Amino acid sequence: MNWAVTGMGAVASVGRDPAELFANLCAGVSGVGELKGFDLTRHDARFAYEVDDRPEPGADVPRRATALLLDAVRQAARDAGLDEHDLSGVPILIGTGLRELRSVELWQRDGIEFPPQDLHFGTALRRECSADDTHTFSNACSAGLYALGLATDLLAAGTAETVIVAGVDVLTETMYGLLERVQPVPPERVRPFDRNRAGVLMGEGAAAVVLTRTPAAGRKVHGLVRGVAVNCDAHHVTAPDPVGIAEAIREAHTRAGLGPADIDLVMVHGTGTLLNDETEAIALGEAFGDAAGGPVMTAIKSMTGHTSGASGLLNLVVTLIALAEGRVPPTIGLDDPVKEASGFRIVTGEAAELPMSVAQLNAFGFGGVNAVAIVEAAR
């Protein structure tokens, strides 16, 4: 079965709505900049992909993840013709890696008041949008697409007519410091699939889509979700496994009723880390076989950074616009592809213009939490 996307919203370092985001990505605009939210004297790494919504550099404030989430959800609701102030009866499924951990850090370190109930995004969604059916899932970097898969299950079961799916994450000093310690050289930017990549940098963002079983007459449909596959291979805490990833890709194709040769575009996970890119390339080669050189591929994390739980849904929003406009944003910073990806048609330099109808979205997280979605252009 196919589920219609009737509303979209997005916020990231390079755009505050889907149109601005897509335009800047196609222009090769990077959101990387010197770290604003933390004290730079405490870190060796100096760069990140932050949303510029703090009062001043170094002056961090609580509830930023919640604010970005509310923004994206309201955008999507308005776009779908829903009442953004009254979302009662509409399930809202939220994927995230870290929820409001940054607010907890500020409470613990600086004593900034932060009541425990505000850890749950449902608190603000109830207050601001009258939402009475909210669920948050923390499935690492694949959380957004996991939530998308759960939404399609709700629609297939007939327990909901419309579902809002969202993903969000902001920088936390805990995770920033952790990544800084495990990467040999602090990277200055994300360079997916490049031999000279140094590692990943975190990004901030939120995205939301409205899925429905039967769109109202005259309502614009941005595209269709044809199938979502998820698995957890539990191969390793941090190291990905090409076998588990390839299985998720094949399962997504099966659920969509398509084969590798039917895929026109692959939005890769593409984190720029030393293990993940080669592993993803190997898995794509195994799952696609002789068709691996067919679809065009791109990695928007080269411009947004790794937005964790938001990354899969940011990819979804960008993908649906790409299918509609026949334009694919480039992967910037990719000069010398790893040998595992040498046969792929990765878009670099300038945005590519070509007709497309079907796309695959990849999202893989710590612990072997894999999610793959297949989407189609609106008919």
Domain that holds residue 286: 223-377
Q: Within 10 Å of residue 241's Cβ, how many Cβ atoms?
A: 18
Q: What DSSP letter does each residue of 346-363 carry, written as one string?
A: E--SS-EE----EEEEEE
Total count of domains within the chain: 2
Looking at the structure, tell me whether residues 117 and 32 fall in a common domain: yes
Q: Is residue 217 part of a domain?
A: no
DSSP state of 322: H
- Domain with residue 41: its CATH number is 3.40.47.10
The pLDDT value given to residue 7: 98
Between the alpha carbon of residue 318 and those of residues 21, 267, 284, 378, the distances in Å are: 8, 9, 21, 14
Spatial separation of the C-alpha atoms in residues 305 and 299, rounded to whole Å: 10
Look up residue 281 and give its two tokens.
């390339």
The owner of tokens 């692959």 is: 266
- Residues 38, 174 contacting (CB under 8 angstroms): no
Looking at the structure, tell me whether residues 120 and 228 fall in a common domain: no
> What is the distance of C-alpha 132 from the center of its chain?
25
Q: Is residue 218 part of a domain?
A: no
Residue-wise pLDDT tens digits, 103-146? 999 999 899 999 999 999 999 999 999 999 999 999 899 999 99
Looking at the structure, tell me whether residues 190 and 301 fall in a common domain: no
Residue-wise pLDDT tens digits, 254-270? 999 999 999 999 999 99
Between the alpha carbon of residue 336 and those of residues 123, 196, 299, 364, the distances in Å are: 47, 8, 15, 23
Residue 26 dihedral angles phi and psi, to the nearest 5°: -65, -30
Predicted TM-score (pTM) of the model is 0.96
Q: Is the pLDDT of residue 1 over 90?
A: no
For residue 168, give every residue at least 6 positions away whose Cβ sits within 8 Å of its Cβ, in sequence order, or none: 65, 68, 69, 72, 94, 95, 96, 121, 205, 206, 207, 309, 310
Residue-wise pLDDT tens digits, 36-88? 988 888 888 899 999 999 888 778 999 999 999 999 999 999 999 999 999 99
Which of 212, 247, 271 is the endpoint of a domain? 212
Q: Exposed, middle or buried, 346 (CB in 10 Å: 0-12/13-18/19+)?
A: buried
Which of 161, 192, 212 is the endpoint of a domain? 212
Look up residue 365 and give its two tokens.
């997280």
